[in-house]
Chains A and B, each alone.
Chain A
Amino acid sequence: MTTKTTTRITPAKGGVGESPLRPDGVPKLKGTFEYAQDLHADQMLWGATTRSPHPHARIVSIDVGPALAIGGVHAVLTADDVPGRATFGLEHPDQPVLASDEVRYWGEPVAIVAAEDEPTARLAAAAVRVEYEVLEPNVDGDEAERRDDTFRRMRIRRGDQEVQGEVVVDGYYEVGMQDQAPLGTEAGLAIPDGNGGVDLYATSQFVHVDQEQVVASLGLRPDQVRAHPTGIGGAFGAREDVNLHIHLCLLALYTGKPVKMVYQRSESFTGHVHRHPARMWYRHHANRDGTLIRVEARVVIDGGAYASTTAAVLANACYFSVGPYRCDSVSVDGVGVRTNNPPCGAMRGFGAVQVCFAHEAQMDKLATELGIHPLELRRMNALTTGDHMPTTGQLIETPLPTREVIDSLEAMPIMDDGPPDDVTQLPGGTGLTTEPGDVKRGVGYALGLKNLGFSEGFDDFAQARVRLTEEGAIVETAAIEVGQGLVSVLAQIARSGLGLSRAVVKHVDTSRIESAGSTSASRQTQVSGGATLEAATKLRQRILDAHGGDDLNDSGVWRGGELVVGIEELAEAGWEETVTFRHPPTYAPDEDGQGVVHADFAVAGHRAVVDVDPDLGLVKVHRVDTSQDVGRALNPESIRGQIEGGIMQGVGLAIMEELVIEGGVIKNPNFTDYLLPTILDAPDVEALLIEEDGSWGPFGAKGVGEPPTISSTAAVAAAIRDATGRPVTRVPVRPQDIAIG
C-alpha cells in the first residue's frame, strides 16, 4: 500500500517550499527568547538535587536535618515523600524518583531541596547527610550478559542461514558514549495552582508523557497536572526522559510555592541519558561480482542502570544493522545489558548511528577485498522501493532513492585543492602542531538508513488544531520546538493547506490538546505536519462549503471571482478544526524479528574529506558533502540547518565527543573535557536534497533530523582510513589510535 499524496499546495505566501524567516529567529539572536532557564515567578523558590557520589551503593541512612537547619531552606524531600508511584520510565517505570534503598549509577538523585535562592539550595543539597555502604559497581557488559542482566535481547533470522559468500570479511567495532550536550541544560518551573494541582514548564521533547509520569508519581488526577511546552536550548534525545519534572512538582506542591530548577553543566551530564556505547561483531559474505550474500552481526549495547529506551534503541540497531543494502540472508543477535554505568537512551539516530559505523566499515572492507570502488559496491547492492528490508523482510513501499543518493553524491565535484595554507585550518588548528607537509588527505563514503516515526506497533499519533482568528490562522499543538524549525514548518503547512498567508504556531499545554507524540524519530514534520495539513485542508473545505465558495485567500471567500465573505468575518466566526493524524500502522516483529515494523524510511549518503597528521594522530575534517532523501523539501533552509548541525554532531562522534567512564564514573562531565567541535573544527558542507513523491508525510515530506548524523560519522572514519591506512575500528578515533595504533 503506497499512500499517494493528493493534497494540492494552495498558493500562499510563506507556504511550503519556501524558507520564511523563523518567528523565533530574531529573538534567539537578540537574546530575548525565553528559554526554560529564564522562567520566573513571583515568590519562587530554587530547587537543587542531592546526588549519589557512588555508581553503586546501599543507602544506610539519610539525615536531612543539617540541610533543613540552613536558613532559607523550605523543604528537603526523599523517597519517603513521593506520594504516588515511586518510579518512572519512558517505556518501563523502573527508575526511582528518588533512590531509597540502593543507588545504581553515579549522580543518581537521592534527595531534593527547595530554598529561597539558588546558592542556598545547592548548599542545602550538599548538606544532606547520606550514609552509603559502597558496593562494587557492575560495569562489565559481558558479565552482565552472562548473568542475563539485560533489558532486551533481539534475534533476527531471515532467509537461508546456510549460504556462504565467495568472499568473507570479518570485523569488530566499538562506539564510545556520546552525549547530546545541549547548550541549554535541564531547567524548569513548577507552579502550584492552589487547588492541589500544578503547572509544569520544563525542558522536554514530549510534554504528554512527562505529564503522565508526574500524575503517577504525585498520585494526582490527570486533570490536576498541566505540562506546558517551553523554550528549549537543544534536545537531541536528551529531553525525552523525565529528570527534574517530578522533582519540581513534588517541591512545588509540598511548599505551596513556585519552584525553579536549572541543572549546572556537570549535573546535566548525569541528569540525562546518553548515546549507548556499542560493541559490534560483523561478518559479511559476498560473491566475487560484489553481490551481498549474507550478513551476520552481533550487537551489544550498554543501557546502564535503568531501562529508559534501551529496548527500542537495541531493536533499531538490529533492524538497521545491514544498512541500505539488499541481502536475503541475515542473522543478527543483539543485547542491551544492564550495568551500573550511566543510563543511556535516546540520541539522534537512535541505534542506527552505532551500526552504521560498523556496516559501512564492513562495506569498505568488502570493496577493498573485491577490488570494487566503495560507491560502486554500494550501488550494486542498493536497497530501494519494492525491495524487502534485509533484516525484517518488510516490503519497502514508500520511495527509497538509495541509488539516486549514491549517484548524486558521486556526481558532486570534489575539490582536490590540497591542504589549506592557513595553518589554523590544518589538523591541530591554533595549536600550530602541523604544517602542510605533515598532512595526508583522505576521502571516505558512507550511507545510512533510518526509520521515520515510531515503530513496532506503537500507536504513533499527533493532534493539531487549526483555528481562524484575527491574527490569522493559528496552529495549536503540544509538539515541541527544540530548535529544528517546527514553528516554521507547521505554519507553512497551514498556509499551504488553507491558502492563507498569515499563520503562526501556538504551543498549548497538555490540558488543551491531545498528544503530538515526541519530538524525536525525525517524526514531527510528518506526523504533526500531517495533522496540521489535514486540519487546514478540512477547514478550508468546510469554509468553502458553508459559503458556497470556490476559493479562499487572504481577502476571504470567493465565488465566481467575487468576494462573498471577508476574512474579518471569517475570523469572528471562530472556525476551527482538530485532527488526530496516524501514520500507516506498524506491528511488533515475530520471534525471528520479521514483520512490518516501520512506517517509513530515509536514506542519506556522506562523503568526507579529511586532513590527517599521522605522526600526531590529529584530524581536521576538511569537508563533508551529502545527499539526502527528504521526500519533499518543505523548508529547504531548515533542512540545511538540520544537515549542517547533524554533520557537526557526526564529526564530533567521529573524532572527539566521548564521555570517558571509569568504574561507572564520568571522568569528563564538563565542556573543558567533553569536547564539542568548534567553528575551527567545522567542515564545509555541500548538501543535495533528493525529492520524490509518495511518502505519507504532508506533501510527501519525510523527516530529516536524524539522517545527517547517521552516516557522517562513518564517512569521516572511512576518510581517516583512506588517509592513514589505519583500521579505525573505534569511534571517536583518538590521536593515539592513529599515531601509535
Chain B
Amino acid sequence: MGEGATALAGGTDLMVEVNFGHTRPENVVALRRVEELAQWEGGRIGAGVTWRRLERDGPRALAQAARTVGSPQIRNAGTLGGNVGTASPAGDGLPFLAAVDASIELASESGRRTLRWDDFFIGVKKTARRPDELISAIQLPEALPDRQEFAKIGVRNAMVIATVYCVVTRAEDGETRVALGSVAPTTIRARRAEELISSVASPGEEDLREFARLVSEEVTPITDHRSTEQYRRHSSGVLARRLLERCLR
C-alpha cells in the first residue's frame, strides 16, 4: 500500500468514521475486486471474506459470531479482514481468533509476514500493521477444537455492539481456551482460568465456580456509556461458565 492510503473493503467501519467526520481519507484503495482477498482455502481465510460467508461456512463459534454482526446488509458487506484491521475491543470476530491462536497475514511490496494475534493486536484500535502493509488473510490452525461456543451480551437482541464477548473452546484432552472481548483494551485470554480448568477432566460445581471467579478477576473492563465495569466483570464470569458447560455437554 502506498503512503497515506486507506484500505476500503466492506466499508462498514470506515464509512461510519467518515460519516462522523472522524476521518477524512485522502486516498482510498478499494479492495472489493481483488479476488485473492476473497479466497478461502482450509484454514486460510482471505481478508475479504464476508460475515455472510462466515455465517454459513465458518467454524461453529466463528459462524455464531458472524450471525450477530449488524444486519444482513452489513453482513453481506463487512469482512473479517476489516474487523481485524479496525481492531476494536468489541470486534466480533476477534475472540474466536484469540481462542484458537490464529495468525494475521500481512502483505506488502517487500513480501509477506505472519503475526500471531497477540503480537498483532497491541491496543485499542491499534495493531502492528505497518502503513505499507495490507491484511491479506487470517490463518487458523490446522486442527480446531471440537467443542467451541460463542456468546455476546448486548442490550438488544440483534444488531448490537457487545458489552461482553466470550468464546470458549475445549479440546478432547481437556485443553480449554477462554477469550473475551469488550472487557479490556484488546481481546484477551483468561489464562489462569484456562489453566485451572484444562487439567480437570470432569469439572464439578466447585471447579466451575472457581473458573467463573478467575475469569471475572482476569478481565479489566471499563465503565462507559454502554455498560459498567462491575457488570462486565460479573457477566464475563457468568458467560464463560455457561459456555464451558455447553462445551462439556
Contact = CB atoms under 8 A, between A and B. Distances in A.
A667 B227 CA distance: 12
Interface in A652-691: 655-656, 660, 662, 667-668, 670, 672-673, 675, 677-681
A126 B20 CA distance: 12
B239 A655 contact: no
A429 B156 contact: yes
Contacts of A672: 16, 161
A595 interface: no
Interface string B199-233: 00000000000000000000000001111101100
A616 B238 contact: yes
A368 interface: no
A735 interface: yes
A410 B21 CA distance: 53
B230 A264 contact: no
Interface stretch (A148-156, A301-309, A430-438): A430-438
B198 interface: no
A266 B19 CA distance: 9
B239 A616 contact: yes
B169 interface: no
A424 interface: yes
Contacts of B50: none
B248 interface: no
A736 interface: yes
B156 A675 contact: yes
Given A677-B156, A678-B158, A735-B153, A430 B234 contact: no
Interface string B156-173: 111111110000000000
B231 A432 contact: no
A740 interface: yes
B231 A735 contact: yes
B152 interface: yes
Interface residues of B, number: 34
B225 A428 contact: no
Question: Quick one: which of B64, B224, B242 has the most chain A CB within 10 A?
Answer: B242
B180 to A, nearest CB: 13
Contact of A678 (B152, B159, B231, B239): B159
A476 B239 CA distance: 59
B68 interface: yes
Interface string A30-44: 000000000000000
A387 B21 CA distance: 57
B231 A740 contact: yes
B94 to A, nearest CB: 15
Interface residues of A, number: 39
A74 to B, nearest CB: 22
A264 B158 contact: no
B227 A736 contact: yes
Contacts of A618: 153
A675 B160 contact: yes
A678 B161 contact: no
Given A431-B68, A616-B235, A680 B157 contact: yes
A163 interface: no
B154 interface: yes
A431 B152 contact: yes
A338 B157 CA distance: 36
Contact of B151 (A126, A264, A428): A428
Contact of B150 (A432, A616, A736): A432
B153 to A, nearest CB: 6
Contacts, number: 97
B124 interface: no
B228 A675 contact: no
A735 B231 CA distance: 8
Given A616-B239, A677-B156, A431 B16 contact: no
A244 B45 CA distance: 48
Contact of B235 (A424, A667, A735): A735
Contacts of B52: none
B19 A428 contact: no
A677 to B, nearest CB: 7
B67 interface: yes
Nearest to B67: A430
Nearest to B150: A432
B64 to A, nearest CB: 6
Interface string A724-741: 000000000011100110
Given A432-B64, A432-B150, A433-B152, A735 B157 contact: no
B231 A739 contact: yes
A673 B230 contact: no
Contacts of A677: 156
A233 B95 CA distance: 39
Contacts of A678: 156-159
Contacts of A126: 21
A616 B153 contact: yes
Given A264-B19, A735-B235, A740-B230, A431 B225 contact: no
Interface string A608-636: 00000001111010000000000000000
Interface in B64-80: 64, 67-68
Interface string A239-272: 0000000000000000000000000101000000
A434 to B, nearest CB: 8
Contact of B163 (A670, A679, A735): A735
B205 to A, nearest CB: 15
A681 B154 CA distance: 12
A656 B156 contact: yes
Contacts of A655: 155
A433 B153 contact: yes
B157 A430 contact: yes
Contact of B153 (A428, A620, A675): A428
Contacts of A670: 20
Contacts of A668: 225
A736 B151 CA distance: 18
Contacts of B227: 734-736
Question: Quick one: which of A433, A615, A679 has the most chain B CB within 10 A?
Answer: A433
A341 to B, nearest CB: 15
Given A680-B158, A735-B153, A433 B242 contact: yes
Interface in A427-473: 427-433, 435, 438
Contacts of B231: 617, 734-736, 739-740
Interface string A116-137: 0000001000100000000000
Nearest to A666: B225
A677 B157 CA distance: 8
A678 B68 CA distance: 13
Contacts of A673: 161, 225-226
Question: Quick one: which of B20, B64, B153, B156 has the most chain A CB within 10 A?
Answer: B156
A675 B154 CA distance: 10
Interface in B138-194: 149-163
20 contacts: A122-B21, A266-B20, A429-B157, A432-B149, A616-B235, A656-B155, A662-B225, A667-B224, A668-B225, A678-B156, A678-B157, A678-B158, A678-B159, A680-B158, A734-B231, A735-B155, A735-B235, A736-B228, A739-B234, A739-B235
Interface of B: 16, 19-21, 64, 67-68, 149-163, 224-228, 230-231, 234-235, 238-239, 242
The 7 closest A-B pairs by CB, nearest first: A429-B157, A736-B231, A667-B225, A431-B152, A680-B157, A660-B225, A680-B158
